[in-house]
Amino acid sequence: MSIYRGPGGSGDAVNDAASEVLLALTAKNEAVAAKVAAEAAQAAAELAEANAETAEANTETAEANAETAEANAETAQAAAEAARDASINMAESFDVTATTLSAGSSATATYNNETFVLALGIPTGATGATGATGATGATGAKGDKGDKGDTGAAGTNGTNGTNGVDGKTVLNGTVNPTTEGVNGDFYINTATNYIFGPKTAGSWGSGTSIVGPTGATGATGATGATGATGATGPAGADGADGPDGVGVPAGGTTGQVLAKNSNTNYDTEWIDITASPALDDLSDVTITTPSTDQVLKYNGSGWVNGAAPAGGQYFGTAATKAIAYNASTISENITVSENAMSVGPITISSGYSVTVNAGKRWVIL
């Protein structure tokens, strides 16, 4: 079922329609009563007019008729008021239905006396006038960036500008300027650090130093690293003799030696050597029948004389010893305690060995 909303409010469409019907019936009854009253009033007026015409002939009759007309008017007014206040009494089971009709149709009302149902047809109202423009809404979000437009046609070339003022030059050299450059130029003497210019009327004028005055002395720097040792200077003059050292007596003659007199420190004196000591005076030296070219060798427990070991010999005079040679066979145990070399081949006899100490080398050529 279509729902109708009456103008100016909301509510159930059926109830609204029923209310409209009641109002329409009431208005109709009022109109009928008013019409009746009006017709009665017209009749009364016509009667009053007749009475007035009669009153022209008979004033007393006219006055009576006028009073009658007034009474009739009052009666008509009362009837009209009664018609205005009239109402329709509905049965308790009275019901109303409503349907919507197309715009421009006439309203309809059908009442069923058996079912006590009032069926109403309510036409759709005409579209109302356009309402006032609402307030401006909030600004929407920024849209996506549009595609790049096509490149426009190239514009025509502009007119050439006027020539600019000639530029100026900064010249330089190691002597003061004379004829160099043109008016407006500058010149720097790189040897004296003087600047000249701008050149005016063909003249450079006097230069101005571009080096400021010497600044204040800076703070002392940190001590530098120790330099390399310098070359040895010339020998100085002999100094004066110092005092005698403790325990070393002055004096003595050539060939004398310093001997201790006791176990006390510095208790010494110069003495003559009465006889030359021999090697075998040493407790670990034994000399037995020495001969030419023998040497003193250590045998593991003491020093003894004997033939020089093979090797270490030289061909040539004793002064030049131009060619050294060594034996080709080693028949003893040898410990090489210093870097050494031999000319090979070398054969070490059975039962003997050569030991080279750590960090040393024995090279056989």
What pLDDT is attached to residue 76? 62
What pLDDT is attached to residue 112? 77
* Model pLDDT for residues 257-313, shown as the tens digit of each residue: 888 888 888 888 888 877 666 666 677 888 888 888 778 788 888 888 887 665 456
d(CA 289, CA 279): 13
What pLDDT is attached to residue 19? 67
- Is residue 336 over pLDDT 80? yes
**What is the Cα Rg of the chain in Å?**
79
* pLDDT top residue among 185 and 39: 185
> Is 40 in contact with 76 (CB distance < 8 Å)?
yes
Strand 285-286 relative to strand 303-307: parallel, antiparallel, unpaired?
A: parallel
Binned at pLDDT 50, 70 and 90, residue 11 comes out as very low
Q: How far is CA 101 from the centre of its chain?
A: 74
- CA of 41: how far to CAs of 36, 199, 297, 321, in Å? 8, 128, 187, 187
> Is 330 in contact with 346 (CB distance < 8 Å)?
yes
| Mean pLDDT value of segment 200-229 | 88
* Model pLDDT for residues 240-270, shown as the tens digit of each residue: 877 666 667 777 888 888 888 888 888 888 8
Q: Give the predicted TM-score (pTM) of the model.
A: 0.22
> Is 269 in contact with 258 (CB distance < 8 Å)?
yes
For 264, the token pair is 């006390």
Binned at pLDDT 50, 70 and 90, residue 1 comes out as very low
* pLDDT top residue among 41 and 218: 218
DSSP assignment of 244-274 equals PPTT--S---TT-EEEESSSSTT-EEEE---
* Model pLDDT for residues 138-183, shown as the tens digit of each residue: 888 888 888 888 888 888 888 888 887 778 899 999 999 999 999 9
Residue 47 CB burial class (10 angstroms; 0-12, 13-18, ≥19): middle
> Is 284 in contact with 270 (CB distance < 8 Å)?
no
Binned at pLDDT 50, 70 and 90, residue 7 comes out as very low
Q: Which amino acid makes up residue 335?
A: T
* pLDDT top residue among 78 and 202: 202
| CB atoms inside a 10 Å sphere around CB 65 | 20
- CA of 163: how far to CAs of 160, 166, 168, 184, in Å? 9, 9, 15, 18
